[in-house]
Amino acid sequence: MTAATHPATVDLSALPPYALALKERINYLPEAQVTRVMRAFQIGAQAHAGQERKSGEPYITHPVAVASILAELGLDAETIIAAILHDTLEDTELSREALAGEFGEVVAELVDGVTKLDKMRFGTRQEADAESFRKMLLAMARDIRVILIKLADRLHNMRTLGAKDQGSRRRIARETLEIFAPIAQRLGMNKFKAELQDLGFHALYPDRYRVISERIRAALGNRREAMGKIEAALTARLQADHLPALVVGRIKSPWSIYSKMRGEHKSFAQLMDVYGFRVVVDSAMSCYMALGMVHALYKPVDKRFKDFIAIPKANGYQSLHTVLLGPFGAPIEVQIRTAEMDSVAESGVAAHWAYKTESGPANSAQARAREWLSSLV
Ligand code: MN
């Protein structure tokens, strides 16, 4: 069937720039799926026509941004379509039947699931209640993709929080720190978690955020030279042994410093007095070789080595962790992993729903992820 005679063909010239950008971003999907996604955009834009965000932009820019965030994780067409339509049941005339008729039962179920989660309100500040509320959310979403859409929705709302009044900003920020960042963490979605935490911290305690960020910047200035020297020494050692590797320095985020100062009663200086590096190599075997090489370069600290490659964390995280005694007296924390392990470390359970051309392995990974999810709740 040629594009010209395809019944669901989308007129590209009629698309606004943000929809074209989304189309570009989902180019990992087969053409027929891309057409379905763009059809979802047209239906969503029609349904939200006339509605605006607090910022004055057309409302549809929000669900499109949510879909784009999920497209960055390479998620399947159902998830992207449901993300575009995630607010239609709540805020427009579209019915569940209409969604199921147009896009199938899976998409309708996902949108319905997000709508139900949105109706749950979290009011209290008690830690124990936050925990049971998180469990309830996870249990309610029978399909983990509902949670992925909800987390992306929250991430975009946090990125655009400035348009809201101060009361709403604080309420949303607190809920983000107490409910959604911990859920992202539990799902192994570390990149989402870190951004949710820092946006939440910034919105809830702007002064503390500013003070800590400035101190981090100052501390980094002082130690830039030491960081550079250690990085060069690690790189040179791996190169001398002919192991292709990428060595990157890691910097702690304002929220992680702040929460450790409070939770572990450590001083800012104690927390900053550690160097962090990540070594990315091409295979699991290379990880162990790299470990031997860095241990030969700097003496490892006793009992600080962890092998999460042989024994992965429950959420699939894999990496070797070790701590070295560095040349400047401060300990050096090193994580060693493959590029694939690195992407699982960043996107966690979402990596299992990435679109794959051959369906076999994806399905077994999804089954494992489902099993793991049901063990959580
Ligand atoms: Mn939304």
* Cα separation values, 327 from 70, 93, 279, 292, 336, Å: 42, 65, 18, 18, 20
Helices and strands, counts by H and E, the chain:
18, 5
Catalytic residue among 90, 131, 214, 225: 90
The predicted structure's pLDDT at residue 362 = 47
| Cβ atoms of residues 277 and 293 within 8 Å | no
More confident residue, 327 or 76: 76
Q: What is the pLDDT of residues 189-233, one digit of tens each?
A: 999 999 999 999 999 999 999 999 999 988 888 788 889 999 999
Considering 57, 91, 307, 333, which one is annotated as catalytic?
Answer: 91
Distance separating alpha carbons of residues 366 and 27, to the nearest angstrom: 22
pLDDT of 25 higher than 50: yes
How many angstroms does the Cα of residue 87 sit away from the middle of ligand 1?
6
Does position 2 have pLDDT exceeding 60, yes or no? no
Beta strands in the chain (DSSP E): 246-250, 275-281, 306-307, 320-325, 331-338
- Cα 61 to middle of ligand 1, angstroms: 10
Q: First vs last Cα of the chain: how many Å apart?
A: 46
CB atoms within 10 A of CB 213: 17
**pLDDT tens profile 89-106:** 999 999 999 999 999 999
With contact defined as beta carbons under 8 Å apart, do 89 and 112 qualify?
Answer: yes
Q: State the Cα–Cα distance between residues 337 and 345, nearest whole angstrom.
A: 10
Query: Position 58: which residue type?
Result: P
| pLDDT score for 278 | 97
Tens of pLDDT, residues 318-362: 999 999 998 878 899 999 999 989 988 888 888 877 777 554 444
Distance 328 CA to ligand 1 centre (A): 48
Alpha carbon of 196 to ligand 1 centroid (Å): 15
Q: Which ranges of 205-315 does DSSP label H, i.e. alpha helix?
A: 206-240, 254-263, 268-272, 284-297
3-state secondary structure of 282: coil
3-class DSSP state for residue 27?
A: coil
Question: Which tokens hold the place of 260?
Answer: 């450790």
155 CA → ligand 1 middle, Å: 10
Question: Residue 80: helix, strand or coil by DSSP?
Answer: helix
90 catalytic per annotation: yes
CA 112 to ligand 1 center in whole angstroms: 13
Active site (annotated) includes residue 143: no
Answer for the pair 316, 349: CB distance below 8 angstroms, yes or no: yes
Closest residue by Cα to residue 99 from 80, 86, 116:
86
CA of 320 to the centre of ligand 1 (A): 38
Distance, CA of 278 to CA of 266 (rounded, Å): 24
What pLDDT does residue 3 have? Answer: 42
CA distance 237 to 293: 7
| C-alpha 153 – ligand 1 centre gap (Å) | 5
pLDDT tens-digit readout, 219-228: 888 788 889 9
Averaged pLDDT, 45-71: 95
Helix (H, G, I), strand (E, B) or coil at 252: coil
Q: What is the DSSP letter of 300?
A: B
